Amino acid sequence: MLQKENTLFLPLKIHTWTCLTVSKWDFELKLPFWRFYHNFDPGAEMCHHGQRIEMEVDKVYLVAPYAKLRTDCTRPFRHFYIHFSLEWRLGSVFDAVFILRKEQFPQALLNSVAHPCPTPDRNDLMGVYAVVTNALFLIRNALPGEGREIDSRIEALLQKLDKEEQWLCTNRELAKLIYMSENAFIRLFTTNVGVSPQHYLRNLRIEKACKMLHFTSDTIDEIAEKTGFANRYHFSRVFNQVIGAWPAAFRDSKTPWQAAQRRRRRKENHLS
């Protein structure tokens, strides 16, 4: 029988961060990890589910995984961002934008990390962790965990799936791991997690693929194989359905707005 681990820790991983001047910021993309945004100049905006969000210099923006944003700017602006994962699988926050006040962050801390850093060191990384944990604490009531009862069998199963990357299990195989019938398992899993087992596994594979595209030199064929897809074409189709971009375009740059600009330029050149 699977048993959940009771050790309390914050499963936080920083992927990348930087501060740079952006002159064009028109893109539309979903990412499977969190984004922290702070702008030092006015002129940028985001659109989320039809709601226009004018980005103010006295605000900090925390974008949850799979939030599809359309962005634009009217002038160059200095932009600080952090990409990170909070790998709490149970009741995770998706497709949301949180707006926080800059004054809720220690000014010295934010200033210490919000600068171009070609060769970051441990102090820089600790500062970034401190900024992110500060932001997460401010939205703690929206995060999963406290006060919510999760079935221990489902929690143990998710821990196993995350650790062992068993992405190709059928619902029947997953149900057997916690000694349940297939139909009862599907109902219990969906009630606790918010999505079906296969939807959850698909998202796990795409999250892994996004990280590999951004942070490794593996080819798209290799990534497709490592994440359990039959071939590059099947992988690309599913990736585009979930993320809203093809894998090659997503990899085009670690800063997604630059990738979007390059795609647009290629399209314009093709039309001309």
pLDDT < 70 positions in the chain:
1-9, 87-93, 118, 144-149, 253-272
pLDDT the model gives residue 147: 44
pLDDT value, residue 266: 58
The model's pTM: 0.74
**3-state class (DSSP) for residue 72:** strand
Give the pLDDT score at 264. 53
pLDDT of residue 98: 96
d(CA 116, CA 51): 31
Whole-number Å distance between alpha carbons of 60 and 94: 18
The encoded tokens of residue 210 equal: 């996004």
DSSP helix, strand, coil percent of the chain (3-state; round to 5): 45, 20, 35
Q: Which of 113, 144, 142, 115 is nearest to 126 (CA)?
A: 113
Record the tokens describing residue 184, joined without a space: 């009862």
